[in-house]
Amino acid sequence: MSTSPKPVKKVPIHLQSAANRVYIKNGEIVNHDKSFKADVYIEDGIIKFVGPPSEITIPGGVRTIDASGLLIIPGGIDPHTHMQLPFGGAVAVDDFYSGTKAAVAGGTTMIIDFVLPNKHESMIEAYDKWRSWADPKVCCDYGLHVGITWWSKSVSEELGILCKELGVNSFKTFMAYKGLYQLNDSDLLDVFERIRQLNGVAMVHAENGDIIAKNTQRLLAEGINGPEGHELSRPEEVEAEAVHRACVLAHQSDCPLYVVHVMSKSAGIELARARQRYRGRYIMGETLAAALGTDATCCFHMGFEHEAAHVLSPPLRPDPTTREFLMKLLANSY
């Protein structure tokens, strides 16, 4: 049994007052399926009414916002964040306060962060640690994915506790980071089968970690040790191969799969093909704003600090048509 606190809906202090009433009028609401003219009434941080003004009586003491000529867009959900994450001897610069404060300022009202246990660390203890970091600081709603960074009977048992008692039902696996987080195919199959038993969702960082490790050794031996070597160590086909393999493994396990940060055309093609092959069942994916807004040209001949600031895994790609290609995949629901 877990002694961890139950997940809670985090309501910022300024939304907890009964006097918090907001009426937004004359705007155009934009939902996922359509846009339409309507007014919105919010009380205590909860949307109480959406519709024409003739159908609502607004109480006194309300803050009114005239949204004439403006769009009213629901708060965003960012399903992939890393607040104050310790990794590789460094810690992410944004903690759960500064990161979620920035999120709210940009219209994101919920994040889903990642608990990443060290190898052989209890998943429950890691979950408790992340909760202790987040609970006192967050400015918006949040949830947690949990990484499966090693595999054993105890990990399998803790997955059940996380699902049944703590409300976590999405788990991240790694095909990269050899010797740190990477799982082999046999372990991935076991993990996917366990997640399926729990009606959860498997997430995967899809890159071939064995190839990356070999390429890294070769590049270092050749004296290539700057940011430019990052993309050279993990070219497109290394990502695409892993995406294809992850989709096959998940399908063989009958497990829902969410492929995180798809960054290349060839990986996008593999994901789209899997969605078509399996008729969209179980296979999902995401890309990153960076992949849609820039490319790897900023990682060469721009000075170390600039280049290093654009290093991520999988990396930005040198093909300048990548961003348009990925955008088209998104537009066509691939």
User: Which of 288, 277, 287, 285 has its CA nearest to residue 257?
Assistant: 285
pLDDT average, residue stretch 214-220: 97
- Start-to-end CA distance of the chain, whole Å, equals 40
Return the structure tokens found at 54: 């003739």
3-class secondary structure, 22: strand
> Domain 76-332 adopts which CATH fold?
TIM Barrel (3.20.20)
Helix or strand holding residue 48 (H, E): strand 46-51
pLDDT at 170: 98
Query: How many angstroms separate the CA atoms of 227 and 73, rounded?
Result: 38
pLDDT at 13: 45
Burial grade of 37 (CB within 10 A; 0-12, 13-18, 19 or more):
exposed
Cα 90 versus chain centre, distance: 20
pLDDT mean across residues, the chain: 92
Q: Examine residue 7 and say whether the peptide bond preceding it is cis (omega within 30 degrees of 0).
A: no
Three-class HEC string of 122-137? CHHHHHHHHHHHHCCC
Residues 11-25 have pLDDT tens digits of: 454 444 445 899 999
DSSP calls for 128-187: HHHHHHHTTT-SSEEEEEEE--S--HHHHHHHHHHHHHH---EEEEES-STTTT---HHH
pLDDT average, residue stretch 82-94: 93
User: Which of 70, 34, 31, 35 has its CA nearest to residue 47?
Assistant: 31
Query: How many angstroms separate the CA atoms of 114 and 126, rounded?
Result: 10
Band (pLDDT 50/70/90 cuts) for residue 281 is confident
H helices of 198-312, in order, are 209-221, 228-233, 236-253, 265-277, 289-293, 304-308
* Residue with the larger pLDDT of the pair 261 and 1: 261
Query: How many angstroms separate the CA atoms of 57 and 86, rounded?
Result: 51
Query: How many angstroms separate the CA atoms of 168 and 159, rounded?
Result: 9
pLDDT average, residue stretch 263-288: 94
User: Which of 57, 43, 50, 49 has its CA nearest to residue 28?
Assistant: 50
Please give the backbone phi and psi of residue 104, each rounded to the nearest 5 degrees, phi first.
-60, -40
Query: How many angstroms separate the CA atoms of 91 and 98, rounded?
Result: 14
Query: How many angstroms separate the CA atoms of 194 and 154, rounded?
Result: 12
pLDDT at 5: 57
pLDDT average, residue stretch 304-326: 93
Residues 123-178 have pLDDT tens digits of: 999 999 999 999 999 999 999 999 999 999 999 999 999 999 999 999 999 999 99
Q: Tell me the domain boundaries of the chain.
A: 13-72, 76-332
Q: What is the pTM of this model?
A: 0.87
Query: How many angstroms separate the CA atoms of 233 and 219, rounded?
Result: 7
Beta strand 201-205 with 283-285 is: unpaired
The CATH architecture of the domain made up of 13-72 is Roll (2.30)
Cα 133 versus chain centre, distance: 18
Do 13-72 and 76-332 share a fold? no
pLDDT average, residue stretch 203-223: 98
Contact 292, 264 (CB under 8 A): no
